[in-house]
């Protein structure tokens, strides 16, 4: 076995033993798209599938990071091993935007039962990305019982996180224009559990009432999961025990209804597609001379002698020969 292969095996073994430096190194390899990922994922995949992946999303400033930290505290009380993945899908760089979150997470930084990683998640190709599912696999195989994924940034990310998590928690808060506007934002389709945070402020009850009637109005098939609403004061950890019970209840429901496997299959499908598309691209960029390949095709399209679909067919054919 090559030295490099040995190093990867050693890294994987140490991550599986819960060594946080090894876990951190593997997540960085995911983020950098390391050529050794193939070997890493082959070693990790048989050991994944245990962790409950919980997505936390909501408007800027609603309390996602505070809630994530409070969830970690609560889960640690129950003796659970916890992973936290802060994902910034809008940025090709990790670090900067997440600095504040890191500071908020400092309470947990020295706890060996907690892994905290922040990561950029470039929408590699056509929005497809393998980074989040692969980082989750690392944390999962490292023995986490729960992995909380906090997405930073707005818009698309909320929907993306719903495709990634087993259970999606949507946070709302009074005074952020949440509540009634939620229906517009399409947020009612993605929440498995809702938390009205900042319940120490006026208006939390009002947000809960509006949310409750919006949920009651939504079309839901017979026997479907009915999203509960929890009031929280994340800053003080209030209501977070109830939030954890609802997360557990949802996980049990997912298992009993075959929905857990279905959601995870969606996640794997996206990952496979992203890997396959990237592999194709690598072949046509690496294998053939780009000038003879893609550039020539592009010129033919501009000159009107080839249509873009025919050109794409040629490109794919040249990469799969």
What dihedral do alpha carbons 118, 120, 124, 127 form, nearest 10°? 90
Q: Report the residue from 20, 65, 157, 168 that binds Mg ion according to the rule CB under 5 A.
A: 65
The two structure tokens encoding residue 236? 């003080």
Length of the chain: 321
Report the partner that residue 63 touches, choosing among Mg ion, ligand GTP, none (CB closer than 5 to 8 A by kind): ligand GTP
Q: Is 233 in the site for ligand GTP (CB under 6 A)?
A: yes
Rg (CA), the chain: 22
- Segment near ligand GTP (CB under 6 A), from 24-32, 35-43, 158-166, 232-240? 232-240
What is the full DSSP assignment across 185-197? TTGGGT-SEEEE-
- Quick note: the x/- pattern for ligand GTP over 250-269, rule CB under 6 A, is --------------------
Distance CA 231, CA 172 (A): 10
Total binding residues toward Mg ion, as defined by CB under 5 A: 3
Residues 190-209 that bind ligand GTP (CB under 6 A): 197-198, 200-201
Quickly list H helices, 55-201: 64-77, 99-104, 131-141, 156-164
CB-hemisphere CA count at 13 Å for 65?
Answer: 22
Residues 49-108 that bind ligand GTP (CB under 6 A): 60-66
3-state secondary structure of 247: helix
Query: Based on CB atoms, which residue is closest to Mg ion, 101 or 192?
Result: 101
Q: How far is the CB of 231 from ligand GTP (least distance, A)?
A: 10
Residues 76-115 that bind Mg ion (CB under 5 A): 101
Q: Which residues pair with 84 in a beta bridge?
A: 116, 148
Specify the residue for token string 């808060």: 173
Total binding residues toward ligand GTP, as defined by CB under 6 A: 15
What is the full DSSP assignment across 175-243? TTT-GGGGTTTTGGGT-SEEEE--TTSTTHHHHHHHHHHHHHHS---TT-----EEE-BGGGTBTHHHH
Q: How far is the CB of 102 from ligand GTP (least distance, A)?
A: 12
Distance CA 144, CA 140 (A): 5
Query: Based on CB atoms, which residue is closest to Mg ion, 149 or 315?
Result: 149
Report the partner that residue 200 touches, choosing among ligand GTP, Mg ion, none (CB closer than 5 to 8 A by kind): ligand GTP
Return the sign of the alpha-carbon dihedral for residues 168, 173, 179, 182: negative
Q: Report the residue from 31, 37, 40, 64 that binds Mg ion according to the rule CB under 5 A.
A: 64
- Quick note: the x/- pattern for Mg ion over 168-207, rule CB under 5 A, is ----------------------------------------
Query: Based on CB atoms, which residue is closest to ligand GTP, 64 or 81?
Result: 64
Query: Based on CB atoms, which residue is closest to Mg ion, 59 or 167?
Result: 59
Report the partner that residue 20 touches, choosing among Mg ion, ligand GTP, none (CB closer than 5 to 8 A by kind): none
Binding residues for Mg ion, per CB under 5 A?
64-65, 101
Binding residues for ligand GTP, per CB under 6 A?
60-66, 152, 197-198, 200-201, 233-235
């Amino acid at each position: 076995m090559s030295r490099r292969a040995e190093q990867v095996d050693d890294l994987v073994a140490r991550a599986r033993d819960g060594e946080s430096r090894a876990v951190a190194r593997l997540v960085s390899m995911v983020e950098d798209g390391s050529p050794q990922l193939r070997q890493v994922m082959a070693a990790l995949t048989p050991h994944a599938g245990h962790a409950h992946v919980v997505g936390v999303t909501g408007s800027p400033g609603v309390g996602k990071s505070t809630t994530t930290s409070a969830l970690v505290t609560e889960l640690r009380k129950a003796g659970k091993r916890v992973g936290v993945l802060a994902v910034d899908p809008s940025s090709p760089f990790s670090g900067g935007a997440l600095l504040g979150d890191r500071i908020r997470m400092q309470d947990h930084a020295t706890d060996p039962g907690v892994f905290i990683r922040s990561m950029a998640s470039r929408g590699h190709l056509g929005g497809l990305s393998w980074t989040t599912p692969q980082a989750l696999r690392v944390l999962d195989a490292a023995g986490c019982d729960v992995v909380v994924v906090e997405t930073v940034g707005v818009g698309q990310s909320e929907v993306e996180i719903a495709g990634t998590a087993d259970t999606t928690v949507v946070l709302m808060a009074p005074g952020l224009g949440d509540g009634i506007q939620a229906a517009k934002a399409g947020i009612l389709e993605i929440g498995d559990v809702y938390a009205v945070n900042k319940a120490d402020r006026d208006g939390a009850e009002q947000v809960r009432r509006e949310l409750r009637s919006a949920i009651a109005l939504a079309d839901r098939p017979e026997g479907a999961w009915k999203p509960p609403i929890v009031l929280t004061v994340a800053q003080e950890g209030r209501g977070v025990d109830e939030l954890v019970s609802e997360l557990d209840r949802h996980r049990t429901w997912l298992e009993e209804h075959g929905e857990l496997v279905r959601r995870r299959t969606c996640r794997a499908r996206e990952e496979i597609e992203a890997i396959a598309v990237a592999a194709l691209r690598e072949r046509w960029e690496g294998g053939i001379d780009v000038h003879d390949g893609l550039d020539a095709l592009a010129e033919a399209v501009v000159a009107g002698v080839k249509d873009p679909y025919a050109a794409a067919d040629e490109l794919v054919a040249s990469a799969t020969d």
